[in-house]
Structures are given as C-alpha cells and as structure tokens.
Structure 1
Amino acid sequence: MTLRPLFGTVLGIVTLVALVHPASAENMRARPKAVVELFTSQGCASCPPADALLTSLAEEGDVIALAYHVDYWDYVGWEDTFGDADFSDRQRAYNESWGTSRIYTPQMVVNGAKGVVGSRRGEVHAALDGASLPLAVDISRYGDMLKIAIPPNTSLDDAVVWMVTYLDRADVTIDKGDNAGKSMVYTQVVTNRQVLGMWEGATGANLKLPIPEVLSDNSTGIAVIVQQERNGMPGPILGAASFEP
C-alpha cells in the first residue's frame, strides 16, 4: 500500500518510485528502542534537570528524544518561546488515556505507554530498561528526498504515521518567572507535528518526503513515528526513526 497523505499537496508526498540518486547513510541512526517525549516549560522551576536528562538520552543513540514545550505555565510571568497549546493538549490526551486528569511538568512519556517524572533519573532509566519498539521504520536519503519504508506486521493493529520536526539546540535567556536570570540550553525542541497517513499492518507502507519543504529555518531534524490511537487518544508507539541532515 501507499500512505494516504493528508498534507500531500503541501509536502509533495507521493508514492515511492524508482530513485536514481545513491542513498546516503549520513546521520541515519540505528533502530531506536524507545521514543521519549518530555513535556516541559521554560516557566517551570523543576524542569531544568529533566531538560538536561533529555539531552543525555538523545546522545545515547538508541532513543528518539523529543521536547514538547507546554503553554500552561505562561501565566507565571514568562511566555515559553516554544510553548504551544497543541502540545499541552497532547499531554492531557495521554493522561486522559491512562485514566487521570492530572498533568504536570516535567513529565516524560516512554513509547506512548508510560509516564514518569522527568527529573527522576532512576525512574526514567527504569522505564527504559527492556523498552523496545516492535515495528522497524527505515529512513534513507536520496538527494533531497527522504525515503521512508515501514514493513508489514500482521500481529499489530493499524496506526497513524506522524512526522515530527524539531530543533536540535536553542539557547534561551529567561528574564521572568521561576527561572528568571537563567541562560538555558534546550535540545530536541518540537517545532511541528503533522499526520502523514495510516499504516496498515497487512501491507506496510512506503513514502518519500522532500527535505527542503519539511525542514524550515527553525527545524533541524525529522522524526517519523508510528503510533496507535485508542478512542481518539494517543496509544502505544510501534516504531520510529529520525533524520538530521
């Protein structure tokens, strides 16, 4: 099958055809064991240790680390420069799917299945122990295009394919709020999320993305994530891959 793109006219996503450009292995990571999503805020006094931990996880090479900056701490006096109401809604949806309405920062979500306090290093590593993703997602570069191959797996239910763009590093001086006066380094900062289509376990999927169109000036990396939904809320992540040109 091919993915049924929702944004095909914008991103130029098309069915894969034979490509003549040689593939490049540059900045292609090994298959990850986990996707770690950190919900954080520049206005959260307890978040800096979690921000630093996420950076170290990203450097390990077998974790796709993503920082979602929420906006619900903006009221304390500092508006997060990366905060987005959609990211706050994503965190709420996770917690609702687990039967709780309580949200907090810093929270790390591992493979869409478990949330832990993001500043508690021991809890985070315990959640990662034995973590794995059952579905392989392969990204290869052909010139200015990315080829994404997701194989079939009939033991898994269908899932949504997401493209997440992120900024690998940003230096921010915070003037107000609980972190006033601090100069912070933020990494793996999510800049946008878009649905690419559906993955069906019976047939798998292939697509390609034009790198210049999906990576804007404020994004340096791409993650492709295959995630199930349960009653319209995020469920387990089945597979993922990332690319930084």
Structure 2
Amino acid sequence: MATNPLPTALLGLAVLAISVPAAQAESVHLRPKAVVELFTSQGCAQCPPADAMLTSLAERGDVVALAYHVNYWDYIGWEDTFGDQSFADRQRAYAKSWGSSRIYTPQMVVNGAKGVVGSRRDEVQEAVDGASLPLPVDVERDGDMLKVDVPAHSSLGNATVWLVTYLDRAEVAIENGDNAGKSMVYTRVVTDRQVLGMWEAHTGAEFKLPLPEVLGDHNGGFAVVVQQERKGLPGLILGAAAYDR
C-alpha cells in the first residue's frame, strides 16, 4: 500500500494499445461533482453507519467514493484487515492543512476541502450537494489500455495526478473489538495510492495505463484524482474519474 510513483511501465506514455474487446461489465464514471474520502476502521463502533452511507454514495454517478481504512483503532482488540499507516498519515495531513491536530473516525472529506462526521447523513449530503469539480478528467478505453486525458485549464494552479486502486466490495467477519460479532460489507476499499505524474494548468497531461497491470487480480477498479498541494499537504481536488471493471 505504498504511495511511490508508478514504474515507467505503468506510466506507459509510449506504449501501443492492444486491440482486445472491452469487458461488458466495465463502467467509467466521468464528470463527478465530488470525491468523498471516508476515513474509517473496522474497530470503530461509530463507523458502520458511515460505511453504509459510503456504499450509497458509491452507487451515484456523480460521486467518486473512496474508503481509507486507518490503523489507529487496532489497539482495542481487532486489527483492521485493510488498515494502513499511510492512510492514517493522509488523514493527519488533511488535519494539518486545515490547522488542526485532531483526527477521528468516521470522517468524510469532500473534494479535499471540507471534513464532516461521516455518520451525520444530513451534513454529508449537504457537503456533497454543494460540491463541484472544475476540471474534467476524460477516460477512454482502447483494448487493454486506458487513456487518461486531463486538459489544460489556465485559471487553476498545477496539481498532482494520483492513481487510487480499490476493492469494489469486501465482506469481513469481525471477531473482536467494538464491532465484534458483526459481518460488515465494505465498498471502494482503497488498496493503494500512486503518483501518475504532474498536471500543469497551461499544458494539461495525458497518460496511458495498461489495465491488467494496474488492476492486478484483486482490484475492482481505480480512480484518477487530480489534487493540489500546499506545502506538501493535500489541498483541493480539482477533478476525478473512476473506472470499474
């Protein structure tokens, strides 16, 4: 679950497309209004309602929903099967960028701009309804290759383009901790974040991704997220798209 830049082979800027028919079950989500990042834990008693709400958001065509499982609840008796220190670090980085040292679960971050309690449905809905993303991210499949085009937009500042892979659905029987005895269903569980490259406002950016290598055997899909940084901390998300196989 590292966040290192992709190997050259995955960047694939000069790789030719392979003519293989696209899978009928695939779907591409373009022009979303919001990227919702849920910071959650299998050991958090208050998280199941937020996990369920993320599942509902994932079904919307105008939301890219991502679940980051943190590991700081593991000490209470159950080690989150998807938890990762880098995800907790990402949540802390958001807090620091907002001038806070406090983190909590469940927390939903909308477009990198606002954090809300993930179990408060009305607050989450209000944040999503008021959200917008100014930058389109176009995705087109050609055989086993996926072309990602992020056009220029001179009124915006430069940003980093991230590839975020995820499990579409996973069911976990929790044996200990505050949720002991529950069988939980999780959706859009983030497995990895890697840098695709930089997006420059005056020139745009284009990437070609070899789908079999990006998805591997287990991932159900991925999101491409264009996000600004401020002093090395996560800033506003400008655009996104998602691909589900």
Q: Counterparts of 1:82-231 in structure 2 under 5 Å?
A: 82-231=82-231
Q: Secondary structure at the match of 2:201?
A: coil
- Checking the alignment, whether the CA contact within 8 Å between 1:23 and 1:140 is kept in structure 2 is no
Separation (CA, whole Å) in 2 of partners of 1:132 and 1:22:
35
Contact 1:8 1:14 in 2 (8 A): no
Distance (whole Å) between structure 1 residues aligned to residue 47 and residue 97 of structure 2: 24
Q: Which residue of 2 aligns with 1:77?
A: 77
Q: How far apart are residue 216 of structure 1 and its match? A: 1.9
Decide whether the 8 Å contact of 2:11 with 2:196 is kept in 1. Answer: no
TM-score (norm 1): 0.93
Deviation by residue 1:102-152 (Cα, 9 ceiling, x = unmatched): 000000000000000000000001111221100000111111111000000
What is the identity, as a one-letter code, of the residue corresponding to 2:12? I
Give 1:207 deviation, angstroms: 1.0
Cα deviation for residue 217 of structure 1 reads 2.3
Whole-Å Cα distance in 2 between the matches of residues 87 and 104 of structure 1? Answer: 13
Q: Percent identity?
A: 68
Which residue of 1 is the match for residue 10 of structure 2? Answer: 11
CA contact (8 A) 1:23 1:141 kept: no
Identify unmatched segments of 5+ residues in structure 2. Answer: none
Give 4+ residue runs of structure 1 displaced > 2 Å after superposition.
5-10, 19-26
Contact kept in structure 1, 2:18 and 2:145, CA below 8 Å: no
C-alpha separation in 2, matches of 1:179 and 1:82: 15
Alignment of 1:28-43 (within 5 A): 28-43=28-43
Note the C-alpha offset of 1:7. 2.4
Give the Cα separation in 2 of the matches to 1:12 and 1:32: 24
The one-letter code sitting in structure 2 at the alignment partner of 1:7 is L
Distance 2:111 2:12 in 1: 26
Find the residue that maps to 1:119 and give its secondary structure: coil
- The Cα shift of 1:61 comes to 1.2
TM-score by length of 2: 0.93
Q: Does the aligned pair in 1 maintain the 2:30–2:240 contact within 8 Å?
A: no
Q: Name which of structure 1's ranges 127-136 and 88-97 shifts more when overlaid on structure 2.
A: 127-136
Mark the CA change 1:14 to 1:8 in structure 2 (over 3 Å): closer, same or farther.
farther
- The residue aligned with 1:62 is 62
CA distance in 2, matches of 1:76, 1:142: 47
SS of equivalent residue, structure 1 residue 99: coil
Q: Secondary structure at the match of 1:28?
A: strand
For this pair of structures, how many residues does the alignment match? 240
Whichever residue aligns with residue 118 of structure 1, its letter is: G
Change in Cα spacing, 1:94 to 1:12, as seen in structure 2 (3 Å) is closer
Please state how far the C-alpha of 1:16 moved relative to its aligned partner: 7.2
Contact 1:15 1:207 (8 Å CA) reproduced: no
Q: For residue 11 of structure 1, what is the amino acid of its counterpart? A: L
Shift of 1:14: 1.5
